[in-house]
Amino acid sequence: MLSNNKGLFVTAMMLVLVGGGAGAAQPQQAGLAAMVGDTPVPLGPPYSVGGVTYTPADPVSYDEVGYAGAIEDGSQGGVTETGESFIPTAITAAHKTLPLPSYVEVTALDSGRTILVRINDRGPMQSDQLIALSPGAAAQLGVTGIAPVRVRRVNPPEQERAVLRGHGQAAERLETPAALLKVLRGKLGPVRTAASPPTRTVAAKPRPVAVKPVNAGRPGADFDTPAPKPVAQVAKSAPKPIPAPPRSGGYVVQVGAFSSQARADTLAKSLGARVDPGGGIWRVRLGPYATQQAAQAGVRQAAAKGFENSRIMANDAR
C-alpha cells in the first residue's frame, strides 16, 4: 500500500511540473517572436540591378570611404531584406554586399562624428554610393543628402546591439581627429549621382570664375578674364564671413563642422554664430560661454533652429 501511494504521489508531482513548465513557456515564446532578430541570413547568390552585378560577402575586415545616400523606405516596400518592418527613426542602413544583419561604424568626413549603425537591408543601387542611411541614422550622424563617409565593420557588445534592435541609439564614438579626416577625405572619388550638386564637377575644372552668375550666359567670358583677377577677388572676400577669433577659455557650442566654407558661413549667419577654421574644416560655433551651464543656452538656441545634435565643447580658440 505504501509503495502504491508513493507511486501515485510521484506521478502527480510530475504532471504538476510539466503543466507549469508548459504554461510558463508560452509568454516567453511570444515575446521572442515579437523581438527583432539578430540571426544572420544566408548571404545568397550574386544578384543584378540595373545591369550591375553584386556579390554578397562576409569579410572579416571591412573599412571603406565613399558616399552615403538616404533610404526612405524598405527595399521590399515597407519591409527590409531581413523581413523586418522599415522604421524611419531606427538607426539602420542598407548595404550592397555585407551580411544581414551586421554592424558598422559610420563616420561623417565633414565633421568627424561617428555612430553605430545596424545594416538590415540591401542598397543603395547607385554605383557610387557606399551605404544608404535611414532618416534616424542620418539625423544622429548630422548629415543630409549625399555625404562623404567612412564605413567600418565592427563587432559591438550585445548591450549596444540590443539598443539598436529596439530602435534606439547607441552612444556616439569619439570624434575622429582632424589629421585622420584629412587622409580619409583624400581617398574620396567624385560624386556621380544625379542628386549631387552640379558645383562638384565645376569645381574640378580649371576655370576660377565659372560659377559666377555674371558669366553664366557667356560661355567664353571666363577665358576673356585674366586668371589673377578672379583669384584676387576670392582671396579678398573669403575672410569676410569669419569673425575675429574670440578670447580663449570657457566653453562653446559646436553646431556643425564642414569641409565647405560656404556652407559653414551660411549656417553661421542663420544662427548668429561664428566660424572657426582649422585643418581644412570650418566649424560653426556659438559662444564662448563662461560655464557649461551657461552654454546650455546655446544648445537651446541651436535646437530652436532645428539643430538638435549640438555639443558643448571646451573653447580651443586662441
CA distance 127 to 129: 6
- 264 within some domain: yes
Stretch 213-223: mean pLDDT: 41
| Residue 238 belongs to some domain of the structure | no
Closest by CA position to 279, among listed 186, 192, 189:
186
Mean pLDDT across 290-317: 80
**Over 50: is that where the pLDDT of 231 sits?**
no
Neighbours of 146 (CB within 10 A): 19
Domain hosting 266: range is 251-314
Amino acid at 213: P
Q: Identify whether 308 is part of a domain.
A: yes
* Number of structural domains in the chain: 2
Q: What is the pLDDT of residue 15?
A: 44
How confident is the model over 43-58, as pLDDT tens digits?
888 888 888 899 999 9
Residues 6+ apart with CB under 8 A from 204: 190
- Specify the higher pLDDT residue, 230 or 299: 299
Tell me the C-alpha distance between 126 and 141, whole Å.
21
- Of the two residues 39 and 240, the one the predictor is more confident about is 39
- Whether residue 36 lies inside any domain: the answer is no
C-alpha cell, 69: 545616400
Which grid coordinates belong to 220? 567664353
Q: Tens digits of per-residue pLDDT, 58-108?
A: 998 999 999 999 898 888 888 998 889 999 999 999 999 999 999 999 999
Q: Does residue 177 share a domain with residue 86?
A: yes
Asked if residue 145 and residue 69 are part of one domain, the reply reads: yes
Contact by Cβ (8 Å): 104, 154 = yes
Of 133, 161, 185, which residue sits at a domain end? 185
Last residue of a domain, one of 185, 208, 243: 185
Gap between the Cα atoms of 285 and 254, Å rounded: 4
Any domain includes 121 = yes
CATH number for the domain spanning 117: value is 2.40.40.10
Whether 167 is in a domain gets the answer yes
For residues 140-167, give the mean pLDDT: 94
pLDDT of residue 101: 93
What integer is the mean pLDDT of 27-39? 50
The last residue of one of the domains, among 185, 209, 233, is 185
pLDDT tens for 273-287 read: 889 887 778 788 888
Q: How far apart are CA 103 and CA 173, in angstroms?
A: 14
For the domain that residue 271 is a member of, what is the CATH number?
Answer: 3.30.70.1070
- Which whole-number Å values give the CA distances from 88 to 93, 96, 260, in the listed order? 10, 19, 28
How many other β-carbons are positioned within 10 Å of the β-carbon of residue 77?
Answer: 7
Residue 98 lies in a domain: yes
Cα separation, 233 vs 209, in Å, equals 10
Residue 292 lies in a domain: yes
User: Quick check: 129 and 67 in contact, CB under 8 A?
Assistant: yes
